[in-house]
A and B are shown apart, each in its own frame.
Chain A
Amino acid sequence: MNAPALKEWPLWEVFVRSKQGLEHKHCGSLHASDSQHALQMARDVYTRRQEGVSIWVVQSSAIAASEPNDKSEFFEPASDKVYRHPTFYEIPEEVGHM
């Protein structure tokens, strides 16, 4: 009982894998006192309709995010480079869905 009480619980981002072989997808966030607490809450909030087989939680403050203000220099230069999409190739039928 020596540690000071947490007045505010930190924010956690929740990632759920819907089935084996698929990636974990971000599905939301919640406040919790530590990682185990966050995992249990994520289980109760985000997997109650059989959404998942695995959960990751990561404290939101540990995520480095791009700034909305950087949008013009980060993302807009790609907008006129359509040749980066593989849409100029004929995909052989045998390949099927890509």
Chain B
Amino acid sequence: MKAPVDYLLHLADNALILGQRNAEWCGHGPILEEDIALSNNSLDLIGQARLLYQHAAEQIGDGATEDTLAYFRDVPDFKNYTLCELPHMPLMSATAQGDRDFAMTIVRNFLYSSLMVLVWDQLQNSKDAQLAAIAAKSLKEVRYHLRHSRDWLVRMGDGTDVSHAKAQTALDQLLPYTQEFWTASPQESAALANGTGIDMAALQSHWNLIVDEALQEATLQRPAAGGFVPTGKQGVHSEHLGFVLAEMQSLARQHPGATW
């Protein structure tokens, strides 16, 4: 049994785009150790994306490779959560520039990792044996990502007035984007139906527990639920993804087939 290609791409795109975003800190981290930590996180995520793209490419055939999937698809083809593509700064139009905000990075990594520890744990039982193996490897990595981001979340929330305010602002801006986790996309429904995927809505209460416990420890207030539900996993993205892809794909498109 194989997972639907679009489902694999959804999982892979989440990892690739968030990995690319976190890699933007490379050389710019707030401290040297954190610079390395975020690069480690990126390499874990990009490694996960590679395995998933390779698995998808085998099913697609017709010359598809991990590289064609990562570098030669356009915005509407990407199926990542909108959360993963947002910039590391309070929301602004895509062409505007601002300073990267470490609180945004940490809160996003915390919200995503809290989900993925549950997703990868369950996908270990996927009827797609290769996906199950990828899940087992990814689970170990994302457990550390959760530990790392949760640690910083609590330090910032329960830190100084300034760090608390930054963490709360990031949470208020990013939490609404997590609503996309729970609405089933066609690829998620197809994967659930053939036993290769999981029921995302069933994870919500456990995810809430993980998040609320950390927020309480961090003395942060959870913003009210509701509002627009993002549609990134259905290929309808924010204005930010195009800029991420432009930077990430430009080299491969200028030099197709280039190798190290």
Residues of A within 8 A of B (CB): 1, 5, 30-33, 36-37, 40-41, 43-45, 48
User: Is there a chain A Cβ closer than 8 Å to B237's Cβ?
Assistant: no
How far is it, in angstroms, between the C-alpha of A40 and the C-alpha of B40 when the chains are bound? 12
In the complex, are the beta carbons of B151 and A44 less than 8 A apart? no
B148 at the interface (CB under 8 A from A): yes
Q: Which residue of B lies closest to A44 (CB)?
A: B37
Bound complex: CA of A31 vs CA of B34, how far in Å? Answer: 11
Count, A-B residue pairs, CB within 8 A: 35
Please give, as numbers and ranges, the residues of chain A lying within 8 Å of B159 by CB-CB distance: 1, 5
Q: Given the interface contacts A1-B164, A5-B160, A40-B147, does A48 sit within 8 Å of B33 by beta carbon?
A: no
Within the complex, the shortest CB–CB distance from B19 to chain A, in Å, comes to 16
Contact B151 A41 (CB under 8 A): no
B40–A1 touching, CB < 8 Å: no
20 sample A-B contacts, Cβ–Cβ < 8 Å, listed by A number: A1-B160, A5-B159, A5-B160, A30-B33, A31-B33, A32-B33, A33-B155, A36-B151, A37-B151, A37-B155, A40-B147, A41-B37, A43-B144, A44-B33, A44-B36, A45-B32, A45-B33, A45-B36, A45-B37, A48-B40
Whether a CB of chain A sits under 8 angstroms from the CB of B173 is: no
Asked if B151 contacts A31 (CB within 8 A), the reply is no
CB neighbours of B164 from chain A (8 A):
1
Docked-complex contact B33 and A1, CB < 8 angstroms: no
Structural contact, A41 and B33, CB atoms closer than 8 A: yes
Cβ-based interface call for B161 (8 A): yes
* A45 to B164 alpha-carbon distance, docked (Å): 27
B207 to chain A minimum Cβ distance, whole angstroms, is 23
Whether A48 contacts B160 in the complex (CB less than 8 A), given A1-B219, A37-B151, A40-B151, comes out as no
A48 to B159, CA, bound (A): 28
The reply on B224 being an interface residue by CB < 8 A is no
Q: How far is the CB of A29 from chain B (nearest CB, A)?
A: 11
Closest CB in chain B relative to A45 CB, distance in Å:
5
Instruction: Say yes or no for B158: interface residue by CB 8 A criterion.
Output: yes
Q: What are the 10 A-B residue pairs with the smallest beta carbon separation, nearest first?
A: A44-B37, A41-B33, A5-B160, A44-B36, A45-B33, A45-B36, A44-B40, A30-B33, A48-B40, A40-B148
B225 within 8 A of A: no
Query: Of all chain B residues, which has the CB nearest A47?
Result: B40
B219 nearest CB across to chain A (Å): 7
Q: Quick check: is B1 within 8 A (CB to CB) of the other chain?
A: no
For chain B residues 77-135, which have a beta carbon within 8 Å of chain A?
A: none
Q: How far is the CA of A32 from the CA of B147 in the complex (A)?
A: 16
How far, in whole Å, are A37 and B144 apart by their CA atoms in the complex? 13
Identify B36's interface contact among A31, A36, A37, A48, CB under 8 A: A48
